[in-house]
């Protein structure tokens, strides 16, 4: 079922993600690299975030289940691994940097996937994750007044795709708050190294609301009140 979903319903969305994601997502979270590090991007889609590392000369593995994405990854120079991330990864290699970007919210057991990521991380290596946060101010208001849990950020896929989402086909199956992400790291004995919070933002057509949200939610306020004013977070852990 997992493979069918990402090769069918999510296929079009993966293409849109490819166009809208970039190296900027991890640029500030990466540790200082020497050029010889081996990197794996788990659930990487078409590789739009980590492709820049290949161009910089790094050895990058792309772990994915979407067949179209795997072909694209191969053409970009990724070393591809086809795996179902809901199952044990069973990878013998170790990696200096393990990326798990906007993936944990897609699986029923994110703790197990993070544990798998730790298994394949080298000593003194790093795990970098990004996740959307639930529930920021905008999503709380949306749930209160509409009863709909589908986050407004899905408007990035366009209104037609946004209208297709229902609770029974929505690809986010886990909903996080900052303390829960950090708690998973502590339980796995990962050493917290850095965190960043992306402010809440409004993608609708109400210009006044956009201005208000920019004033209320910014990099400073989101870091101080992440439960209410951050819409996503990134974390870097070190593995000893």
More confident: 10 or 223: 223
| Interacting residues of 80 by C-beta distance below 8 A, sequence separation 6+ | 61, 62, 63, 64, 70, 73, 74
Check residue 169 and give its pLDDT.
81
Which residue has 């950090």 as its token pair? 182
Task: Output the average pLDDT for the chain.
Answer: 91
The band of 16, judged by pLDDT with boundaries at 50, 70 and 90, is: confident
Residue 162 domain-assigned? no
Using alpha carbons only, give the angle 174, 42, 49 rounded to the nearest 5 degrees.
100
Check residue 2 and give its pLDDT.
65
Among 153-162, 184-193, 207-216, name the one with the lowest average pLDDT.
153-162
Q: How many domains does the chain have?
A: 1
More confident: 37 or 202: 37
Mark 140-173 as b/e (b = at least 16 C-beta within 10 Å).
eebeeeeeebbbbbbeebeeeebeebeeeeeebe
Residue 50 domain-assigned? yes
Whether pLDDT at 185 is above 70: yes
CATH of the domain at 185: 3.40.50.150
**What number is the average pLDDT over the span 78-104?**
96
Residue 150 domain-assigned? no
Check residue 32 and give its pLDDT.
94
The secondary structure of residue 120, as a DSSP letter, is: T
| Interacting residues of 70 by C-beta distance below 8 A, sequence separation 6+ | 62, 64, 80, 82
Residue 160 domain-assigned? no
Residue 104 domain-assigned? yes
Residue 159 domain-assigned? no
Antiparallel, parallel or unpaired: β 191-199 and 230-239: antiparallel
Q: Which domain holds residue 181?
A: 2-132+172-198+231-239
Among 74-78, 126-130, 166-170, 212-216, name the one with the lowest average pLDDT.
166-170
Residue 37 domain-assigned? yes
């Amino acid at each position: 079922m997992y493979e069918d979903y990402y090769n069918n319903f999510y296929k079009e969305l993966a293409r849109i993600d490819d166009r809208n994601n970039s190296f900027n997502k991890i640029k500030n979270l990466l540790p200082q690299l020497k050029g010889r590090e081996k990197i794996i991007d788990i659930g990487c889609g078409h590789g739009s975030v980590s492709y820049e590392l290949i161009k910089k000369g790094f050895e990058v593995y792309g772990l994915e289940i979407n067949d179209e994405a795997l072909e694209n990854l191969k053409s970009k120079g990724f070393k591809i691994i086809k795996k179902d991330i809901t199952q044990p990864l069973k990878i013998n290699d170790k990696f200096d940097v393990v990326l798990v970007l906007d993936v944990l919210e897609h699986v029923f057991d994110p703790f197990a996937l993070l544990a798998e990521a730790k298994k394949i991380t080298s000593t003194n290596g790093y795990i970098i994750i990004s996740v959307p946060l639930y529930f920021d101010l905008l999503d709380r208001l949306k749930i209160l007044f509409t009863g709909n849990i589908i986050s407004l950020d899905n408007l990035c896929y366009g209104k037609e795709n946004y209208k297709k989402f229902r609770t029974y086909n929505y690809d986010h199956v886990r909903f996080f708050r900052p303390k829960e992400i950090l708690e998973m790291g502590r339980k796995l004995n990962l050493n917290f190294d850095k965190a960043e919070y992306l402010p809440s933002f409004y993608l609708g057509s109400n210009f006044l609301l956009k201005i208000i949200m920019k004033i209320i939610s910014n990099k400073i306020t989101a870091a101080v009140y992440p439960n209410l004013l951050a819409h996503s977070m990134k974390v870097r852990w070190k593995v000893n």
